[in-house]
Each structure stands twice: as C-alpha cells, then as structure tokens.
Amino acid sequence: MNTHAQKIALVTGATRGIGTETVRQLAQAGVRTLLAGRKLATAQAEAKKLADAGLPVEAIQLDVTETASIAAAVKEVQDRHGRLDILVNNAGIAIDDLTKKPSEQTLETWRTTFDTNVFAVIEVTQAFLPLIKASPAGRIVNVSSALGSITLHADPSSFIYDFKIPAYNVSKSAVNAWTVQLAYELRDTPVKVNTIHPGYVKTDMNNSDGEQRGEIEVDEGAKTSVQMALIDADGPTGSFSYLGQVLPW
C-alpha cells in the first residue's frame, strides 16, 4: 500500500525546472500534488502533461508576491481538500548583476529579491499554516541554497567562497533563519519545517546570461525537497540539508 496516496501537497513556482520536477516526483510517490504557477494557463498546461502520464497532479494559480492570489489559493485548497499535508516553498528569483560588486547592487535589486525569496515565503506559509495544521503530519520545505550559508561564505576554503551573489545569497540566509524560527514555534506539533539545498542545478535560473551553468540535472535537484517532504515522524525539523547531509548555517 502506498502510504503517501492520501497526502495533499502544493509546490510554488512549479511551472518549470526544479518546481515541475518536484511535483513529478511527489506525484510518482502517490501524493496528490498541486502545481502552482503565477499564470493559470501555464500551470494547467504543465499539470496536464503530468496528469496525462497518469500522475495525480492538479493546477492552481498562485502568485506568491500577491496577497489576493495567495488568499484565493488558500480558499481553493480549503474547498478542494480541506487540508494541506505538504507545502514546498520553491518559488524564487536571482536577479543580481553579476558584473557588480556586493556594495554596487541596487536597492531595487535587494527589495525585489527579498519580496519574492523571503517575504513571499513567509506570507504564503502564514496563509497556508491553518490548513497545514489540519494535517495529521504537516510538512513545510523551504528551498534555500548552500549560498545562504554564512559559515561557508566566511570560509576561504569553502567551495562557495567566491560565489558572492549578494541579494540572492542573503535572501537565502534569511529563509534559513525563518525556518529555524518557525520550526521552534511548531516544535510540539506534528508539523516539521526544514530548509534544503537543491544542488547546483542546470536550470533557467543558472542560464540567465545565456551561459549554461550547473553541475547536476533537474531530477537530482528535486530529490532533497521530495525527501524532506516525505519524512516520517522521526524525521528532523529546523534542519538545513542536501541529500541527507546536514549543511552549516
């Protein structure tokens, strides 16, 4: 018997890349998964591809930077399913100008990055939390990055030492910090909150200037999110990991 068959998941930013693959892998595990995207038509098209392959996938419109869109998505999940077992906060942007130093990034870049990568994660989580608490074993997975590790950035021997993409990096540090705060709040409940590093994945985000970057394929990049979404009662909370390896904050 598939123990995940009755679970309901929602993945934000799921119309491409790691998001779409996270939906696929959760659905392959038997989870009924809501593929969320800013544009409903795009989400529906991607969801149809997966549903046509026999996977339990539904589309839902969700712009994580729009309060009204978040509220509408929460109502839709409430009306359709009455609860949410898994929330994967996958949506994110990287818009730093790589030709500029950390001190030269514009304030607009910082604000826009934090609006999507931090404040949207907090707002979406706050909005869905009542539905997650209605689950017998709620799971929240925040997609961060090793680039959010302050410890690694301060270590000259670290593999990320020279990857100073400031607004993006600091936004992921903030996501990590938020994860710890929320996990503490929910420590005596069945809800587990974790943050993950997907790996250096070959995605559009790593191809912004026309040069393809990344070391691993998208299917590998989705694995940690899926693993943490499906942890049992003995699994961690308030952790930061990559494929089972604990990462430094």
DSSP output for 39-74: SHHHHHHHHHHHHHTT--EEEEE--TT-HHHHHHHH
pLDDT per residue as tens digits for the range 74-86: 999 999 999 999 9
Q: Is residue 146 situated within a structural domain?
A: yes
pTM of the model: 0.93
pLDDT at 10: 98
pLDDT at 237: 98
pLDDT at 70: 98
Q: Is residue 2 situated within a structural domain?
A: no
Residues of the chain with pLDDT under 50: 1, 205-209, 212-213
Mean pLDDT of the chain: 94
Q: Which H or E run contains 220? A: helix 218-221
Q: Is residue 1 situated within a structural domain?
A: no
pLDDT at 202: 67
What's the CA gap between 83 and 130, in Å, rounded? 8
Among 75, 164, 172, 242, the one annotated catalytic? 172
Q: Is residue 65 situated within a structural domain?
A: yes
Among 168, 192, 200, 223, the one annotated catalytic? 168
Q: Is residue 3 situated within a structural domain?
A: no
pLDDT per residue as tens digits for the range 2-31: 667 699 999 999 999 999 999 999 999 999
Cα-Cα-Cα-Cα torsion 205, 206, 210, 213, nearest 10 degrees, comes to -160
Is 49 annotated in the active site? no
Is 168 annotated in the active site? yes
Residue showing tokens 């934090």 = 114
What's the CA gap between 25 and 188, in Å, rounded? 29
Burial class (CB in 10 A: 0-12, 13-18, 19+), 46: buried
pLDDT per residue as tens digits for the range 163-181: 999 999 999 999 999 999 9
User: In which domain, by residue range, is 121 found?
Assistant: 8-246
Q: Is residue 46 situated within a structural domain?
A: yes
Q: Is residue 145 situated within a structural domain?
A: yes
Per the structure, how many domains does the chain have?
1
Q: Is residue 149 situated within a structural domain?
A: yes
Domain with residue 20: its CATH number is 3.40.50.720
